Every structure is written in structure tokens, then in C-alpha cells.
Amino acid sequence: MSFVLKLAASQAGRRAAFSSPLGLKSYRSLHSSKPLQQAEQPTLPTTSPNADEPVTKLAQKGSLQLSLETPQNKAEYVLSTLDKVSNWARQGSMWPMTFGLACCAVEMMHMAAARYDQDRLGVVFRASPRQSDIMIVAGTLTNKMAPALRKVYDQMPEPRWVISMGSCANGGGYYHYSYSVVRGCDRIVPVDIYVPGCPPTAEALLYGMLQLQRKMRRSRQGVVWYRK
């Protein structure tokens, strides 16, 4: 008798479950692999990105770089155009100040030789910091040499950039725990491009120069000054 009553109660519960949509969802969630929250969650239409919009713009949405590249008024349009012209001139005439401190400077000289020919990119070494806009720090920076590095950096005109070449210049390298070595030249001067390696090859330094050209091309100093 009890078995018949249990069977009738279960059949009545199934009818009540199928009678309303909510009961149907709960019944399906109990007898399927989907949880109850997933079963009750409405399906939203998927929005595909615009095919005409570049991937770089999609990746930069909401970023400061996209905000700087998008003029908001006529004044910013003029300033951004002037920035593009000045950036084009700067990236085509990069004059580095050589600050060779160790064996990495040999690869720096290798980049200036005929095999890689840095002159074709507008890269010309200058002996005076007052005629340079880039400093290449190549080698181990010691505590005694740090004030000289900062003094030479301060003599460079604005805008100026710094390339840290090699593991010793990046973070101390093999002499990281030495008492007389600065653990990275970025503790003395601001660094824009890091070139890893011990020592890095001439191709790596040349690639670092190309990355610096890209950074120059994307800078908007006039727009930043106007928005202040």
C-alpha cells in the first residue's frame, strides 16, 4: 500500500513540474548536467566586432594611447598632426650617445659596422651628449660611474631616450650581488628600451632601435601638453 502511495505522489509531482515553465526548468536541471543557475540564465545575443575596425584599435579600446591618438577638437587635431611630423623627423635621425662600459660595447660597435649598417636607419653615433637624443648604456655600471652617467644624461637636450643594453645594465648581471655594482641603470636614469643578453647580439640592439622608433612614432607630446 505504501509503494502505491509513493508512486502516486511521484506522478503528481511530475505533473506539477511540467505544468509551469519554472517547474520544467527545475526538473530539467535536476536530471541534466547543467546547474540550475545556468538553466535559468537567459541567452544573450553575441556581438561580433566590426570587420572594418583594425585589431589594434580593438585592443586599445579604453586605453590612454587610443585617447591620445583620437583628437577631440580642432586644436588637438593640429597638435597631433605636428606631433606626427616631429616624430617622423626624430625617428629618421636618431643620434645616440655611446656609453660603453664593458664587453657589450663591442656588439654596439658591430652594429655600426658595414654588416648591419645602422646609418641606413638614420642612426649616427655622436661624441657629445649635447648633440644626442639617445643614450645607449652598455655594460656594468658601478657606483663610482653612476654620478658620471647621470651628469651626461642631464646634458642631453629634450626629448631624450635611454636604451639599456645587456644583463649588467638591465639588472647587474653576473655582478648583481657585488658591493660596488648598481643593480640596473634604471636606478640612475629612466630607461625606455631594455635589450637582454650577455652580451646581446648586434641584431638584438638593432631590434631595440626599431622598437624605440615605434615608441617615438606613438608619442603625442603636444596633445599631452595641451590637455594639461
pLDDT tens track for 124-139: 888 888 989 899 998 8
Which tens digits make up the pLDDT trace of 131-179? Answer: 898 999 988 899 999 999 999 999 998 888 999 998 989 988 888 888 9
pLDDT reading at 85 higher than 90? no
Q: Are residues 107 and 189 in the same domain?
A: yes
Is residue 185 within 8 Å of residue 137, measured between CB atoms?
A: yes
Segments forming the whole domain that contains residue 184:
88-224
Residues linked to residue 163 through DSSP beta bridges, in sequence order: 136, 193
Q: Are residues 214 and 155 in the same domain?
A: yes
- DSSP three-state, residue 193: strand
Q: What average pLDDT does this structure show over 44-50?
A: 50
Q: What average pLDDT does this structure show over 79-103?
A: 83
Query: Peptide bond before 159: cis, by omega within 30 degrees of 0?
Result: yes
**Is 94 inside a domain boundary?**
yes
User: How far apart are the C-alpha atoms of 130 and 137, rounded to whole Å?
Assistant: 16
Q: Are residues 99 and 185 in the same domain?
A: yes
**Is 99 inside a domain boundary?**
yes
Question: How many domains, in total, are found in the chain?
Answer: 2
**Is 52 inside a domain boundary?**
no
